[in-house]
Amino acid sequence: MNDFPEPSRPAEAGLNDAVSPVGGGDDASVVPLPDPLSPTMADIDREVSEAMASMASVDPSALCEDVSTSDSVAPGTGLTGTVVGLSNDEVFLEFSAKCQGVMPRSQFGQKEPVQVGRRVDVVVERYDSEGGLLIVNREGAIQRATWANLSVGMLVEGKVTGLIKGGLEVDLQGIRAFMPGSQADATPMKDISVLLNEMVRCEVIELDRRNKNILISRRKVIERERADARRKLKEELEVGQVRRGIVRNITDFGAFVDLGGLEGLVHIRDLSWSMVDKVSDVLRPGQEVEVKVLKIDSKRDRVSLGLKQAQPDPWADVPERYPLGTALKARITRTTDFGAFAELEPGVEGLIPLSEVGWQRVRRTSDAVSVGDIVDAVVIRVESQKHRLALSMKQAQPDPWDGVLEGFSEKSLAKGRVTRLADFGAFVEVAPGVEGLIHISELSDRRVKSCSDVLQVGQEVEARVLGVDKENRRISLSLKQAREPAEDYEAGPIEPQKAPRKRKKPLRGGLASHFDW
């Protein structure tokens, strides 16, 4: 048995040139020997597995590391590139040191800034082998529809050309598509014909290349845009911000304002610094307004807004402009059981309590003032932090009790009009703003069960002044003593003689018979 000699490795020979003689002699056949340095199949499988595993963690832009392999990037792949150049119609991007792309400049808004160095998310459309560039579109951008690039989920733009049964016919620059009526808007439309001859942005939802049928949806685009705007707005929104919005809906309790994907409520109390009876008096649907964020409830996706808070607070310097004792004119805006509200200026109202409406006793506010009346008043209390201000109408008028002692001396007679009746007596106005009380015991010589048995409201009477208490603003009157002569009154009241009571039944017995004689 012959042993195999160690194969020689000439310097000029390659690894695959190593041979070993079989048998002996010069004409012996030669066969190649296995190269101990060449990888085995197990090594190759291991290397492939490692390479495939490492690719899962590589950034998508690494797929474009070599321009010569860019044509292997599948259409629809998402990449992030940096703007490296601009022209009138195109924007040039760089994804790596050896990979560039180009996209239409029209996919940026007219007012959207595009400058070198900006990062842009794009989607690969195809690879241009002649130019060595990737043709890309901005992520979510409208693409021109062709039968070669149409796919479900693609965003397209077209013109509504006709109204057909169940929906609309849309021309995608030469390709006919159908939009169901339910897909025309995010909310049901009463009349979809308003979209005729309009350019619309849609998403391809169904595609049949064989029969060349395309189903598109404008609704999905609107919903996606609103969702993106809503998500972005929720990240940016903070309490205290002032934002512009559009009034979408009006209710009895407030108005809903769209801030651009997220709606907030402006409660009726936050519409104006002045009192608001109806929301429609201040806002209307479609109106653009500036509002302030008052509260954010992230759990329930609710935002409270204020319209008046976005405007200067008229109460900021009220104590300086309306100090105590200031006499002014105010307009009655509303009346209540407890008083009347009067407007000093837009946004600043004061309350006139019922007791301060006038020197005369007032039972109902509406009996003294009406909405729209211009009245004289005096500031009697200011609480600017609580936005409260109290006014008095009666203090703006002369005090009717001045000179009362001189005009109504004790024991004199006074004429007046009955203003109201109570269980304990009757009130008589003896002078404007000055009332006296006739106690029920002073109404008549006889026992009186009810004041209405003797007097009626509005009746003119003459009564005797029993006493005057200026400090407590009280005058005591007597109706029954007004009938007595003055000299008798000065001597004191005369008690009337009581008539003997008559017996209901005659006495019985001898005495009765005796007197009958």
**Cα–Cα dist 283/289, whole Å:** 9
Quote the domain boundaries for residue 125: 60-138
**Cα–Cα dist 124/149, whole Å:** 11
The pLDDT assigned to 291 comes to 92
Q: Among candidates 457, 390, 473, which has minimal Cα distance to 418?
A: 457
- pTM reported for the whole predicted model: 0.48
The pLDDT assigned to 362 comes to 79
Q: Note whether 439 and 479 are within 8 A (CB).
A: no
93 Cβ contact list (under 8 Å, min separation 6): 81, 82, 83, 84, 100, 101, 102, 103, 120, 122, 136
Own/partner pairs, 241-245, CB within 8 angstroms, 24+ separation: 241/292, 241/293, 242/290, 242/291, 242/292, 242/293, 242/310, 243/290, 243/291, 243/292, 243/293, 244/288, 244/289, 244/290, 244/291, 245/288, 245/289, 245/290, 245/291, 245/305
| 512 domain residue, yes or no | no
The pLDDT assigned to 390 comes to 93
The pLDDT assigned to 376 comes to 92
Give the CATH number of the domain where residue 383 resides: 2.40.50.140
Q: Does one domain contain both 435 and 469? A: yes
The last residue of a domain, from among 199, 223, 247: 223
Q: For residue range 398-426, what is the model confidence (pLDDT) as tens digits?
A: 877 777 767 777 788 888 899 889 889 99
To which H or E segment does residue 470 belong? Answer: none
| 445 domain residue, yes or no | yes
Q: Does one domain contain both 133 and 198? A: no
**Cα–Cα dist 101/99, whole Å:** 7
Q: For residue range 258-276, what is the model confidence (pLDDT) as tens digits?
A: 888 788 999 999 998 888 8
- Minimum mean pLDDT range among 25-39, 183-197, 445-459: 25-39
- H helix intervals, 11-89: 41-55
Q: Does one domain contain both 288 and 268? A: yes
Own/partner pairs, 56-60, CB within 8 angstroms, 24+ separation: none
The pLDDT assigned to 2 comes to 43
The pLDDT assigned to 25 comes to 44
Model confidence at 397, in pLDDT bands (50, 70, 90)? confident
- Minimum mean pLDDT range among 112-121, 146-155, 171-180, 471-480: 146-155
* Mean of pLDDT values over 4-33: 42
Model confidence at 374, in pLDDT bands (50, 70, 90)? very high
- Minimum mean pLDDT range among 16-25, 167-176, 192-201, 312-321: 16-25
Q: Does one domain contain both 211 and 247? A: no
Average pLDDT, the chain: 78
Give percent above pLDDT 90 in the chain. Answer: 22
| 186 domain residue, yes or no | yes
Q: Note whether 172 and 158 are within 8 A (CB).
A: yes
The pLDDT assigned to 142 comes to 65
* Mean of pLDDT values over 485-493: 47
Q: Does one domain contain both 134 and 160? A: no
Q: Does one domain contain both 120 and 67? A: yes
Q: Note whether 335 and 369 are within 8 A (CB).
A: yes
* Mean of pLDDT values over 498-502: 48
Model confidence at 45, in pLDDT bands (50, 70, 90)? low
Q: Note whether 363 and 422 are within 8 A (CB).
A: no
Q: Does one domain contain both 282 and 214? A: no
Which residue would you say has higher pLDDT here, 328 or 491?
Answer: 328
62 Cβ contact list (under 8 Å, min separation 6): 96
| 85 domain residue, yes or no | yes
Which amino acid would we find at residue 470? K
Which amino acid would we find at residue 354? L
Give percent above pLDDT 70 in the chain. Answer: 77
The last residue of a domain, from among 255, 286, 310: 310
Q: Does one domain contain both 484 and 409? A: yes
Q: Note whether 242 and 292 are within 8 A (CB).
A: yes
**Cα–Cα dist 287/257, whole Å:** 9
The last residue of a domain, from among 344, 362, 396: 396
Q: For residue range 308-357, what is the model confidence (pLDDT) as tens digits?
A: 888 888 888 888 889 999 999 999 998 998 999 999 988 898 999 998 98
Structure tokens, 480 = 């029954």
Model confidence at 508, in pLDDT bands (50, 70, 90)? very low
* Separation of first and last alpha carbons in the chain: 193
The pLDDT assigned to 294 comes to 92
Q: Check whether 254 has a pLDDT greater than 50.
A: yes
DSSP 8-state code for residue 367:
G
The pLDDT assigned to 141 comes to 65
| 50 domain residue, yes or no | no
Q: For residue range 200-233, what is the model confidence (pLDDT) as tens digits?
A: 888 899 988 888 889 999 999 888 888 878 888 8
The pLDDT assigned to 153 comes to 84
* Mean of pLDDT values over 76-83: 83
SS (HEC) of 190-255: CCHHHHCCCEEEEEEEEEECCCCEEEEEHHHHHHHHHHHHHHHHHHHCCCCCEEEEEEEEECCCEE
Q: How many other C-beta atoms are found inside a 10 Å radius of the C-beta of residue 380?
A: 17
Q: Check whether 50 has a pLDDT greater than 80.
A: no
Q: For residue range 279-295, what is the model confidence (pLDDT) as tens digits?
A: 988 899 989 999 999 99
Q: Does one domain contain both 199 and 268? A: no
- For the chain, the domain total comes to 5
341 Cβ contact list (under 8 Å, min separation 6): 275, 332, 333, 334, 335, 349, 350, 351, 352
- Minimum mean pLDDT range among 41-50, 207-216, 370-379, 400-409: 41-50
| 470 domain residue, yes or no | yes
Structure tokens, 39 = 């990888």
Q: Does one domain contain both 374 and 409? A: no
CA 412 vs CA 352, 403, 415: distances in Å? 36, 15, 10
- Minimum mean pLDDT range among 183-192, 342-351, 499-508: 499-508
| 12 domain residue, yes or no | no
Q: Does one domain contain both 391 and 408? A: no
Q: Check whether 247 has a pLDDT greater than 90.
A: yes
| 211 domain residue, yes or no | yes
Q: Does one domain contain both 78 and 107? A: yes
Q: Check whether 435 has a pLDDT greater than 80.
A: yes
